[in-house]
Amino acid sequence: MTGRRSPQRPYRTQIVRESSSDGDADHAVFDRVVGEYARTRPDYPEAALDWIARETGLEPGADVLDLAAGTGKLTRSLAAREYRLIAVEPLPGMRARLVHDLPGVRVLDGKAEQIPLGDGSLDAVLVGQAFHWFEPYAALDEIARVLRPGGWLVLLWNLWDLDDPMQAALDRIIAPLATGRIRVLTTGSHPYGEWPGALAADDRFEAAAQARFTHHVELDAVATGERVATASQVQSAAAAERDAAIAAAHALVARMPCGRATFRYQTEIDLVRRH
């Protein structure tokens, strides 16, 4: 399903409770669960990548950046499309896994607020499941700098489908934990941070289109526990709370037929064009 909308994006906003005294979550927690992240976080459906290519006109040979690439969940699909691809990732553990798994991709140490590339060097910047971790104004300055006029900023999100009883049950396990410094929800199921207002107010960018795709991932009980372990609010919780959440997720799926469960994801994509 696709649709076009104006730059004033009608996001629903609600405030999430402040983090606990155990401290704010920070994206660095992901370096503690690199293996779990690589094994259990979902990729992005090929139909979504096809739609991006059609809407943006990106062809093989286009200069494309996967920003905050993590272990390469999005990078792998982009590399298969024969773009001139660069991946930027700030966390050394994530970056090492990406280099190991995708040795043909140019991988750089860098962050959204300080992209190690030249002015006007890119046709597109893609961000998978990460824009909510950026300081939005500094990141938008950098993205505007490295994009050519008419270039694309593409935001991808894999959202839990809370109409699915199993995922709703997992959400009830995770929800009581602190969300750290990400305190604004713009969907019913995922913390996005404060970027929507910053992007809507930035006259260098214009919202062009949005689409949503459905896909599925099957996990056993062990993998489900690992998947829950990769949630930032789980990793930033006190050790006892973290271990209890992982154990509860494992037990939930272990009780299911064959000890396996299907995760239904909604992949949401925002296309934004640089003036």
Query: Band of the pLDDT at 237, cuts 50, 70, 90?
Result: confident
**Burial state string for 232-243 with b = 16 or more CB within 10 A and e = fewer than 16:** bbbbbbeeebbe
Domain 11-274: CATH superfamily, name plus number: Vaccinia Virus protein VP39 (3.40.50.150)
Structure tokens at 247: 């154990």
Residue 269 identity: I
Q: What's the confidence (pLDDT) of residue 10?
A: 28
pLDDT tens per residue across span 81-91: 999 999 999 99
Mean pLDDT of 94-101: 97
Mean pLDDT of the chain: 85
User: What is the structure's pLDDT at 82?
Assistant: 96
**Distance, CA of 152 to CA of 64 (rounded, Å):** 9
Residues 6+ apart with CB under 8 A from 135: 112, 113
Joined tokens for residue 252: 């939930």
- Domain segments of the chain: what residues? 11-274
Phi-psi region of 265 (alpha: psi -120 to 50; beta: other; left: phi over 0): beta
Q: For residue range 50-59, what is the model confidence (pLDDT) as tens digits? A: 999 999 999 9
For residue range 162-209, what is the model confidence (pLDDT) as tens digits? 888 888 899 899 888 865 544 444 444 344 567 888 899 999 999 999
Separate counts of helices (H) and strands (E) for the chain: 10, 10
